Chain A
């Protein structure tokens, strides 16, 4: 049975590194990238904007599209295919809620907003939370 590897990504370089690492080190595995949209922010604008859409699934998919496009380009370079999943809300929670369906999680040391204290304050350090609580092995890439 092929193993299933979850790679949570955002638009950061660390996320791209994590995806490359996963593609390199799990040549036979199925790679599934997850992107979370509607993340809590200082005034909750993003989350509310998404909530006000008529079709949330459609709107979420649209927002995740550029991120997945980039991920596919990385995979194409190695002649690999990836699957995509969109999550909404709190990144760490979204990753952990799905964790059991996968054999391992590969993620970047920190996301695009790691230096912004507000995001950190509201979202916490996603990588740290996932590595502490995930029921499956977690690989942290930097």
Chain B
């Protein structure tokens, strides 16, 4: 009986890890794959390795929080399996409706629901976690804003990320030890920038492991029956499996979004989001890598969109009296204009970059981050109240 239940738990854990692997591989490796720097298979292999590294090291702190921090008792096997099913349910809903439901948050929600139902919830820990959930998006947005407004334009003027045709390196087979030499079109700076891109993607994979391995692994650890090391290995295996299979698709969809942004900006996003995620995981706070990523993207875009003058104008000192063009001014300018005769272009309107970041779209994200964990808490609470024998 116990073996069967553990087996079900492991399968559920693999399902969760598999889906996490799909989405986080897409985010971490979409940009380098999109830029043609690395093959999808190589990306999945590197992903698996660095996820393991992140889960094995920093991820343990998050695992401690999930398995013995949020609730004062240890998760029993049956409770752990139930929690995994709620995490899986959240993922399923996210997949079916295509809505971003953050896994780390549903996990905490499900365990908190268990704690509420059994009156074992550690309120101090959960308050600390929720505080970080509120603060983190703000920090991500703010850092992104600073990068977008001040740092990115500067760096963009100076740095060129190149990708030449042909292989980056050629391994000559003349001697017994293969000796790498530069490919036919490779420049030294290309080697440099490619290395930077790959290192950053590995870093993001590491942070994905630190924050996401615990979601799949923690419910089965401790009283539930698995050794932490074994649970981490299973979770890594599942994430890798997702990375090699469904990530081929997510690298185009989720990762494709990051590829809509210039590679240089995507690298800034990845470094910022990975650092936020790694630091929080290090102090044991479960955090969603996707959340940190989205807020940094929005921050960078918003910071750049609301710049008072364009960078080109700033450089050429051709600033004149330009200020942020508001909708009202645009409308006034438009009024005096006669309608263009048929066949001619309409008078060029002044496009307001601020229109790109509608606050309502941002609010919808934030609402998802509130609804997701709340629903999982309520569902888990209801379940453990109705079926008290599970705990």
Q: A-side interface residues toward B, CB under 8 Å?
A: 2, 4, 30, 32, 38, 40-52, 54-57, 60, 81, 83-90, 93-94, 97, 101, 116-118, 121-123
Contact = CB atoms under 8 A, between A and B. Distances in A.
Interface stretch (B39-47, B205-213, B345-353): B345-353
A43 B311 CA distance: 25
A90 B355 CA distance: 7
Interface in B317-362: 327, 334, 339-340, 342-346, 348-353, 355-358, 360-361
Among A47, A54, A118, chain B packs the most CB atoms within 10 A around the CB of: A47
Contacts of A2: 342
Contact of A45 (B100, B261, B344, B360): B261
Contacts of B298: 44, 48
B383 to A, nearest CB: 26
A60 B349 CA distance: 12
B261 A40 contact: no
A44 B301 contact: yes
Contact of B301 (A52, A55, A97): A52
Interface string B274-312: 000000000000000010011001101110110000111
Given A43-B290, A51-B353, 12 more contacts: A43-B254, A43-B257, A44-B298, A47-B357, A48-B300, A48-B356, A49-B301, A51-B300, A51-B356, A88-B353, A88-B355, A97-B327
A140 to B, nearest CB: 23
Among B261, B265, B339, B364, chain A packs the most CB atoms within 10 A around the CB of: B261
Contact of B356 (A55, A88, A116, A121): A88
Interface in B141-186: 148, 152
A48 B261 contact: yes
A89 B355 contact: yes
B187 to A, nearest CB: 25
B225 to A, nearest CB: 37
B192 interface: no
Contacts of B364: 121-122
Please tell me the size bucket of the interface on B: 35 or more
Contacts of B256: 45
A58 to B, nearest CB: 10
B37 interface: no
Contacts of A47: 301, 356-357
Nearest to B258: A45
Contacts of B353: 50-51, 56, 88
A44 B343 contact: no
A30 B345 CA distance: 12
